[in-house]
Chains A and B, each alone.
Chain A
Amino acid sequence: MNNDNKTKEKEIKATINACKLCSPLGASIVFRGIKNAMPLIHGGQGCSTYIRRYIISHFKEPMDIASSSFTEEATVFGGESNLITGIENVIKQYNPELIGIATSCLSETIGEDISLYVNKYLRNNIGKDNPKIVHVATPSYSGTHIDGFHKSVKAIIETLVKEKINTKSKKINILPGFLSPADLRYIKEVLEDFDLSFTMLPDYSETLDAPIWDEYKKIPEGGTSIDQIETMNNSVATIEFGKTISNEFSGAFFLEEKFGIKRFNLGFPIGIKETDQFFNILEKLSGLSTPNKHKLVRGRLIDSYVDGHKYLFGKKAVVYGEEDLVIGITNFLFEIGIIPIIVASGGNSGKLKDFIQNNGAYISNNEINILNGVDFSEIEEIAFNLKPDLIIGNSKGYKIARKLNIPHIRVGFPIHDRIGGQRILHVGYNGTQNLFDSITNALIEYKQENSPVGYSYI
């Protein structure tokens, strides 16, 4: 494996076409997954507007994020009054049960003490029906949107989970990470099929993929309720998806350390092996064997692996995006005989290579380039030399696919050039089936389109 690619362009200090987003975006998505909650970014007006636009373009849903609207004065003298006015106005307009405050690079750099401001605000408003207030440090200069995502999950748990009450339930916690609303709905269905009661944090499966409305909703319906979060320390275990999450940012680690709740840290359940691991744990936790419904899906999935394997064997893929999604997809590609020649992320945990099971060596002796902390210009440059057959990732890799004239299978976030990004199912046996069919059909279509014969029977 090669983990030290220095490309010509990287001698340029600048980042060119970043393959990552900034931290408050992840926080905003998490807060949108809490029932009746409003995100508020403590910074300039642009942060919340840009992030809103970016999220709206993917989910095609309203996404209100308040801003404390920093001014020059606030930057010099501190943003306390902006934040307090912001909180008050959010309460007046939205009447939320929870306000999630994410900081920006500006407010972090000038050293805003959000705890102090919030405590003061709560002290001055004793007796009122105040919303819960959670805050998280998400400066854009530190980590990516995924760090913002995990840090926010942890901050919510840290703030809301109360002292342990010793009523052992069979409830479990699930921290799914940054998945699609379709993925979240699938996971909930699986847990229900195992007869498990659970708290999923966050749950934006409805808030960011809502049905049509008859009345405008100030805050979309759905999301994890505060009651559920407050009792997460009564669960028997926490399942957390995402191998690259550091203990420092992990809500599951926190629950284990503080309340002794067993933490199961799994990779994104993509592909048969990873999904099996998830189901094995569910069997253990529920005491039930996998329901027949899911066994059938698994069986059909393997059947399709067999049906499609010849179209796939030895094909070379570029995979990019968030680290844990990339790990999941890459290990799935190994299962089906595709060689992930480039595995890339703008994230920089340094752990990407630790979780890529390089069991594809028998397919060919192609080198697998595992690239942490890269941008799209670097991915493009390496891809050009390696002549991949397909590229798998979010919309922002489209230009590479177009230049190379190869199929682009869209997964993850953002999907800005197709409809239905929120409905892409990536996880579980069902999600793997979806990815498998998409990938295989894209390759068949490519072959068909580029054949002079024009077969209609392949």
Chain B
Amino acid sequence: MIKILEERKEQVFNKGKDSFEISCDKKSASGSVSQRACVFCGSRVVLYPIADALHIVHGPVGCAVYTWDIRGALSSGPELHRLSFSTDLTEIDIIHGAEKKLYESLIGLIDYYKPNACFVYSTCIIGVIGDDVEAVCKKVSNEKFIPVIPVHSEGFKGTKKDGYKAACEALFKLIGTGSANDVGKFSINILGDFNIAGEIWVIKEYYKRMGIEVVSAMTGDGRVNEIKKAHGAKLNVVQCSGSMTTLAKMMKEKYGIPFIRVSYFGIDDMANALYDVAKFFGDANILENTKKLVKEEILKIMPEINFYKEKLQGKKAAIYVGGAFKAISLIKALRLLGMETVVVGTQTGNKDDYNDIKDIALEGTIIVDDTNPLELSKFIKEKDVSLLIGGVKERPIAYKLGIGFCDHNHERKEALAGFIGMLNFAKEVYGTVLSPVWEFIPRK
């Protein structure tokens, strides 16, 4: 029997049965095998796709090596982000401090790779040995004439969300340092898309067809010089709101740029993401272009979507992803395929997010914050789902029980955003749910 830990009881909610407010935004319970990572992870995932910046992890080798080129975030040009740089601290460094090593590492790397900026990630240990990373960054920046930005991402200093915040603060230091004179009036920044499998190219092309200028993308296929002039954009369009809303708020306060929250997953949300931008600018031409685009794109994919829907009708799914906005999009996207979500959870959702999920979820749905493998295995089995959507760590839980799986995390190599992404998603779900291999599963 798998039991839910006492301190986690308020983080598991059964819609229609329970009436309490879901508890969230908590540190993970010690010993619970959370699927979350740490502050460093939060910062690393947000900044990682900036491809012409040098990302150096200041600490022992582990944190750098586990994040070396594991994500599907693509670049159309430089690929510095795909290399792993570490100060690789050893005992001596821990005893004597590692400021000199960091300084020398940075100088050597900048001379060799000529990046347009550096991000210096502090790991747990830096918070303990007391290196003045800020001072080293300043010194190197003065000597090399590029921004060298410390990221305060010591793993223990909060949760993954605090890492998002540290990354937003790092980005904020870059924004406004370039000239935005050439930025037009129908211009946006895309926040919170990381160009997994080339998704941002799809989204950018949509906006281009609408007549919208994308000033910068943060951070998918990101470039330092674009981010520097991001303050010139007239609107911030925020996806992955969990990670990037902080930055949008900071930019609103300092530069007066309003923001909207969108999702590029699923037909409805994708269309809304475009319409909301069109409506914001209120330009008749743009609105006309948008209508035309949405119509064309939907017509292109619907026949195939309908085929998959017919096959998938009535199947049940479970979702466990990082952010809540994505979870909601996925519930809708699965509905479009005739599937119902009966378990839904996130690593980093907040109270409002969970209320939104409660609103959209069916009666009897299990809603869960910061779950662990044992709970998840219990829920997906109890609810007899045919599909789990999650990341690499969730995959074996599904597979070991003989349940289909769709990777919707940063490591995937399939584009799932945009209208075309919806089609890819449908294909992937179809391919896993209806695979003949389940015939041999002992559980059935």
**Residues of A at under 8 Å CB distance from B?**
9, 11-18, 20-25, 40, 43-54, 56-57, 60-72, 74-75, 82-83, 85-90, 92-94, 104-106, 109-110, 139-142, 210, 212-218, 377, 396
How many whole Å from A204's CB to the nearest CB in chain B? 15
Q: Are A89 and B128 in contact, with the CB atoms below 8 A? A: no
B396 part of interface (Cβ distance < 8 Å) = yes
Q: Which 6 A-B pairs have the closest CB atoms?
A: A46-B38, A89-B31, A22-B62, A12-B108, A86-B31, A140-B60
CA distance A13 to B98 in the complex (A): 11
B87 part of interface (Cβ distance < 8 Å) = yes
Q: Are B38 and A44 in contact, with the CB atoms below 8 A? A: yes
Residues of B in contact (CB 8 Å), total 77
Q: Are B30 and A85 in contact, with the CB atoms below 8 A? A: yes
How many whole Å from A348's CB to the nearest CB in chain B? 9
CA distance A47 to B108 in the complex (A): 28
* Stretch from B352-360, B370-378, B427-435 at the A interface: B370-378
Q: Which residues of B contact A21 (CB under 8 A)?
A: 61-62, 65-66
Q: Which residue of B has the minimal Cβ distance to A416?
A: B70
Q: Mark B26-60, 1 if CB is under 8 A from A, else 0.
A: 01111111111111110000000000000010011
Q: Which residue of A has the minimal Cβ distance to B35?
A: A49
B96 part of interface (Cβ distance < 8 Å) = no
Q: Which residues of B contact A88 (CB under 8 A)?
A: 31
B93 part of interface (Cβ distance < 8 Å) = yes
CA distance A159 to B35 in the complex (A): 30
Q: Mark B61-98, 1 if CB is under 8 A from A, else 0.
A: 11111111000000000000001111111110110000
Pick 25 A–B contacts, CB within 8 A, sort by A. A12-B108, A14-B85, A14-B109, A15-B86, A17-B68, A18-B61, A18-B84, A20-B61, A21-B66, A22-B65, A24-B62, A44-B155, A45-B34, A49-B41, A50-B37, A51-B66, A53-B392, A63-B396, A72-B157, A141-B89, A141-B94, A212-B440, A212-B441, A213-B443, A214-B443
State which of A22, A57, A217, A377 has its C-beta within 8 Å of the C-beta of B60: A22
Q: Which residue of A has the minimal Cβ distance to B128?
A: A109
CA distance A85 to B31 in the complex (A): 7
Q: Which residues of A contact B441 (CB under 8 A)?
A: 212
CA distance A213 to B239 in the complex (A): 38
Q: Which residues of A contact B159 (CB under 8 A)?
A: 45
Q: Are A56 and B395 in contact, with the CB atoms below 8 A? A: yes
Q: Which residues of B contact A12 (CB under 8 A)?
A: 105, 108-109, 112
B302 part of interface (Cβ distance < 8 Å) = no
Q: Which residues of B contact A396 (CB under 8 A)?
A: 68
Q: Are B88 and A49 in contact, with the CB atoms below 8 A? A: no
B101 part of interface (Cβ distance < 8 Å) = yes
Q: Are A105 and B59 in contact, with the CB atoms below 8 A? A: yes
B280 part of interface (Cβ distance < 8 Å) = no
State which of B5, B37, B112 has its C-beta within 8 Å of the C-beta of A89: B5
Q: Are B86 and A53 in contact, with the CB atoms below 8 A? A: no
Known contacts: A13-B104, A45-B36. The answer to whether A69 contacts B29 by CB under 8 A is: yes
B17 part of interface (Cβ distance < 8 Å) = no
How many whole Å from A277's CB to the nearest CB in chain B? 33
Q: Which residues of B contact A110 (CB under 8 A)?
A: 128
CA distance A276 to B89 in the complex (A): 41
Known contacts: A12-B105, A85-B31. The answer to whether A46 contacts B393 by CB under 8 A is: no
Q: Are B156 and A93 in contact, with the CB atoms below 8 A? A: no
State which of A16, A47, A53, A63 has its C-beta within 8 Å of the C-beta of B85: A16
CA distance A54 to B29 in the complex (A): 22
Q: Are A54 and B66 in contact, with the CB atoms below 8 A? A: yes
B381 part of interface (Cβ distance < 8 Å) = yes
Q: Are B378 and A216 in contact, with the CB atoms below 8 A? A: yes
Q: Which residue of A has the minimal Cβ distance to B90?
A: A141
How many whole Å from B346's CB to the nearest CB in chain A? 15
Taking CB atoms and an 8 Å cut-off, the chain B residues in 378-400 that contact chain A are 378, 381, 392-393, 395-397, 399-400
- 17 new A-B pairs (CB below 8 Å) besides A22-B65, A67-B31, A142-B91? A18-B84, A22-B60, A43-B124, A43-B156, A46-B38, A46-B39, A47-B62, A48-B33, A54-B66, A60-B396, A92-B5, A141-B90, A212-B442, A213-B400, A213-B443, A216-B400, A218-B374
CA distance A63 to B397 in the complex (A): 9
Q: Which residues of A contact B378 (CB under 8 A)?
A: 216
Q: Which residue of A has the minimal Cβ distance to B101?
A: A13
CA distance A23 to B104 in the complex (A): 25
Q: Are B34 and A18 in contact, with the CB atoms below 8 A? A: no
CA distance A60 to B399 in the complex (A): 9
Taking CB atoms and an 8 Å cut-off, the chain B residues in 1-31 that contact chain A are 2-3, 5, 27-31
CA distance A110 to B156 in the complex (A): 13
Q: Are B109 and A106 in contact, with the CB atoms below 8 A? A: no
Q: Are A18 and B393 in contact, with the CB atoms below 8 A? A: no
Q: Which residues of A contact B158 (CB under 8 A)?
A: 72
B180 part of interface (Cβ distance < 8 Å) = no
CA distance A24 to B396 in the complex (A): 21
Q: Are A70 and B124 in contact, with the CB atoms below 8 A? A: yes
CA distance A272 to B9 in the complex (A): 58
Q: Are B128 and A15 in contact, with the CB atoms below 8 A? A: no
Q: Which residues of A contact B41 (CB under 8 A)?
A: 46, 49-50
Q: Are B34 and A69 in contact, with the CB atoms below 8 A? A: yes
Q: Are B393 and A16 in contact, with the CB atoms below 8 A? A: no
Q: Mark B109-135, 1 if CB is under 8 A from A, else 0.
A: 100100000000001110111000000
B202 part of interface (Cβ distance < 8 Å) = no
CA distance A446 to B66 in the complex (A): 32
Q: Which residues of B contact A94 (CB under 8 A)?
A: 374
How many whole Å from A6's CB to the nearest CB in chain B? 13
Q: Which residue of B has the minimal Cβ distance to A48?
A: B33
Q: Which residues of B contact A51 (CB under 8 A)?
A: 62, 66
Q: Which residues of B contact A14 (CB under 8 A)?
A: 56, 85-88, 105-106, 108-109
State which of A69, A71, A216 has its C-beta within 8 Å of the C-beta of B381: A216
How many whole Å from A220's CB to the nearest CB in chain B? 9
CA distance A34 to B84 in the complex (A): 33
State which of B86, B123, B156, B442 has its C-beta within 8 Å of the C-beta of A70: B156
B301 part of interface (Cβ distance < 8 Å) = no
Known contacts: A21-B62, A210-B400. The answer to whether A64 contacts B33 by CB under 8 A is: yes
Q: Are B30 and A82 in contact, with the CB atoms below 8 A? A: yes
Q: Which residue of B has the minimal Cβ distance to A82?
A: B30
B401 part of interface (Cβ distance < 8 Å) = yes
Q: Are B124 and A105 in contact, with the CB atoms below 8 A? A: yes
Q: Are B60 and A105 in contact, with the CB atoms below 8 A? A: yes
B402 part of interface (Cβ distance < 8 Å) = yes
Known contacts: A18-B61, A64-B33. The answer to whether A212 contacts B91 by CB under 8 A is: no
CA distance A174 to B401 in the complex (A): 33
CA distance A142 to B92 in the complex (A): 10
CA distance A49 to B393 in the complex (A): 8
How many whole Å from B378's CB to the nearest CB in chain A? 7
Taking CB atoms and an 8 Å cut-off, the chain B residues in 278-335 that contact chain A are none
How many whole Å from B95's CB to the nearest CB in chain A? 10
Q: Which residue of A has the minimal Cβ distance to B375?
A: A93
State which of B62, B372, B440 has its C-beta within 8 Å of the C-beta of A140: B62
CA distance A69 to B155 in the complex (A): 10
How many whole Å from A341's CB to the nearest CB in chain B? 24
Q: Are A16 and B63 in contact, with the CB atoms below 8 A? A: no
Q: Which residues of A contact B374 (CB under 8 A)?
A: 64, 93-94, 216, 218
State which of B31, B83, B373 has its C-beta within 8 Å of the C-beta of A40: B31
Q: Which residues of B contact A142 (CB under 8 A)?
A: 90-91
Q: Which residues of A contact B93 (CB under 8 A)?
A: 141
Q: Which residues of A contact B30 (CB under 8 A)?
A: 66-69, 82-83, 85-86, 89
Q: Which residues of A contact B155 (CB under 8 A)?
A: 43-47, 70, 106
CA distance A356 to B36 in the complex (A): 43
Taking CB atoms and an 8 Å cut-off, the chain B residues in 249-267 that contact chain A are none
Q: Which residues of A contact B66 (CB under 8 A)?
A: 21, 50-51, 53-54
CA distance A12 to B104 in the complex (A): 7
How many whole Å from A69's CB to the nearest CB in chain B? 5
How many whole Å from B281's CB to the nearest CB in chain A? 41
Q: Which residues of A contact B28 (CB under 8 A)?
A: 45, 67, 69
Q: Which residue of B has the minimal Cβ distance to A59?
A: B396
